[in-house]
Amino acid sequence: MADIVQILHDAGLKHTPGREALLNVLMRSAHPMTQEEISRELAGSGMNRVTIYRALDSFTKAGIVHRVENGDRVWKFAFCGCGSHGHCHPHFTCRNCGKVECLPGIELPDIPKPKAGYIIEERQFYLRGLCARCS
């Protein structure tokens, strides 16, 4: 498992025991987790929901965590261990176990420029199917 202190440092984030615990939970999980699931895992750690939300937000902005919405209108969070933090690559979601995997070797096509006045802030591309373990 990658060194959490180094991951935080490389992302330009300050190391705190709470951030370390949160990132450890995400790194150990085989599937994206909701904030509620994360809160249950961190019960007794002293991190409240607001602190967890802020840490998840900073992790997402720093590119070390993916924010995933699998069609159920609930954001889930997964560690991005692929080393490509621009998120300009597709992700594969297993419909059976929920595992999310980066596919950095697959380039996304160029997209047309938006209409005047529109700004694209995020671009996501997901593939769904069965992972090697579930197929």
Tokens 């959490």, residue located: 4
- List the chain residues with pLDDT less than 70: 1-2, 70-72, 81-88, 122
Query: Does this model's pTM top 0.85?
Result: no
Largest CA distance in the chain: 50
Q: Does domain 4-129 have CATH number 1.10.10.10?
A: yes
pLDDT score for 82: 58
Q: Where are the domains of the chain?
A: 4-129
Query: For 64-92, how does the pLDDT look when each residue is reduced to its tens digit (9 = 90+)?
Result: 888 877 666 788 888 886 554 455 677 78
